């Protein structure tokens, strides 16, 4: 196995870095106070403008076929792009349409759905959210109860979703709903494309422990959508959701973000030598985190190599997701250990260190082992599908 990137791939990485130097202010996050509605709206507008610059270069969906707005680039080019965007803290975290909705549509969508939705995703014109989790169906997602009933040429949807990231910003939702309540729970689910401004949809905010509005709960009250907004086969949606989740879990972005924050910590520890001079345990943890980042990076590259070979990763994606999310939490704890009481300070504090990133990341990293499938779910996937062990 050759762990080196090709000269062409390295040249593409340099091109991305040059673009970011020109188009992304180094401290762009500090321009907005996202704990206020005005600051959050301003940051969102900035992110949309930035994404459209990427879309003009056809970079948002690099590996997609040109007819859908991509460049037909190799998967490794997409990996390099994702890695550089995450490392440089570019505003792309909400791009679910490119990350997994689009790839799922390429597999299961009709020709009309592909032609209608994929170019709009690749151009950054339409933003998507994922409508999976419910108050009684999180890790056990197949227990979902939101109903979709076919009446003539329309599906009528009733129910509730929760923890829907950016539902208040999205134009479209990728919805999993029950279409056969009498079937076994894994075999009565279908997937739909839902316009988020449709009559009967109500979005209510959920503020996380870091004071940010990213999550929402969404209510469906007799929401009607056209019959052809069904994706794939009726009652086969569980398998489509599983494939989409594999795309979600396979990204290099989490490891790249960890590497950037780890480098920030290393740089700060070199400047403030008193933080580690008499604390060998902290020095050792920082060294261990560096090793773990390298491991996480190559786990993600493994997933990409499978995709490059035309395969759909399954347990391999769960390994990468599990390791990356738990690595993020270990890094956050190590940052707190290094900074001590300084690590608890909000970015607004005049005594804060590293611009308050440790305090923010320590709070937001809690969700990393929950969103996209909990660590327990990932371990079950690895055990049953990777190791062939019987279900408990």
Exactly one of 83, 84, 134, 248 is catalytic; name it. Answer: 248
CA–CA dist 119, 67 (Å, integer): 8
Q: What is the 3-state secondary structure (H, E, C) of the chain?
A: CCCCCCHHHHHHHHHHHHHHHHHCCCCHHHHCCCCCHHHHHHHHHHHHHHHHHHHHCCCCCCCCCHHHCCCCCCHHHHHHHHHHHHHCCCCCCCCHHHHHHHHHHHHHCCHHHHHHHHHHHHCCCCCEEEECCECCECCCHHHCCCEEEEECCEEEEEEEECCCCCCCCCCEEEEEEECCCCCCCCCCEEEEEEECCCCCEEEEEEECCCCCEEEEEEEEEEEEEEHHHEECCCCCHHHHHHHHHHHHCCCCHHHHHHHHHHHHHHHHHHHCCHHHHCCHHHHHHHHHHHHHHHHHHHHHHHHHHHHHCCCCCCHHHHHHHHHHHHHHHHHHHHHHHHHHHHHHCCCCCCCCCHHHHHHHHHHHHHHHHCCCCCHHHHHHHHHHHHCCCCCC
Please confirm, yes or no, whether 248 is among the known catalytic residues: yes
Query: C-alpha angle 226/240/105, rounded to 5°?
Result: 60
Closest-CA residue to 376 (of 68, 138, 56) = 138
CA–CA dist 159, 221 (Å, integer): 7
Closest-CA residue to 191 (of 240, 126, 242, 135) = 240
- Residues labelled catalytic: 248
């Amino acid at each position: 196995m050759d762990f080196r990137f090709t000269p062409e791939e390295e040249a593409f990485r340099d091109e991305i870095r040059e673009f970011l130097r020109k188009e992304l202010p180094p401290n762009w996050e500090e321009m907005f106070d996202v704990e206020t509605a005005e600051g959050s709206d301003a940051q969102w507008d900035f992110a949309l403008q930035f994404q459209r610059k990427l879309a003009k270069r056809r970079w948002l969906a690099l590996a997609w076929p040109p007819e859908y707005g991509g460049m037909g680039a190799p998967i490794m080019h997409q990996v390099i792009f994702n890695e550089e965007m995450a490392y440089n803290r570019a505003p792309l975290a909400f791009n679910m349409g490119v990350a997994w909705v689009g790839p799922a549509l390429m597999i299961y969508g009709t020709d009309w759905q592909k032609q209608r939705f994929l170019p709009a995703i690749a151009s950054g014109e339409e933003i998507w959210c994922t409508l999976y989790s419910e108050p009684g169906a999180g890790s056990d997602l197949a227990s979902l109860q939101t109903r979709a009933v076919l009446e003539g040429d329309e599906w009528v949807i009733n129910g509730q979703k929760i923890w829907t990231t950016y539902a208040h910003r999205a134009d479209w939702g990728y919805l999993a709903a029950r279409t056969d309540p009498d079937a076994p729970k894994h075999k009565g689910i279908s997937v739909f494309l839902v316009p988020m401004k449709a009559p009967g949809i109500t979005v209510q905010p959920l503020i996380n422990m870091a004071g940010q509005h990213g999550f929402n709960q969404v209510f469906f009250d007799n929401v009607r959508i056209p019959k052809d907004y069904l994706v794939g086969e009726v009652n086969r949606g569980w398998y489509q959701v599983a494939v989409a989740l594999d795309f979600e879990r396979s990204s290099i972005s989490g490891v790249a973000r960890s590497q950037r924050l780890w480098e920030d910590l290393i740089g700060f520890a070199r400047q403030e030598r008193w933080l580690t001079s008499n604390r060998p345990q902290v020095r050792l943890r920082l060294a261990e985190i560096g090793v773990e980042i390298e491991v996480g990076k190559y786990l993600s590259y493994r997933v990409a190599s499978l995709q490059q070979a035309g395969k759909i990763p399954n347990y391999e994606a769960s390994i990468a997701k599990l390791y990356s999310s738990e690595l993020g939490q270990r890094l956050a704890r190590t940052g707190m250990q290094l900074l001590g009481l300084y690590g608890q300070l909000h970015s607004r504090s005049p005594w804060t260190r590293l611009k308050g990133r440790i305090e923010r990341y320590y709070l937001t990293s809690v969700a990393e082992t929950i969103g996209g499938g909990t660590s327990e779910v990932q371990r079950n996937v690895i055990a049953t599908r990777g190791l062939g062990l019987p279900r408990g």
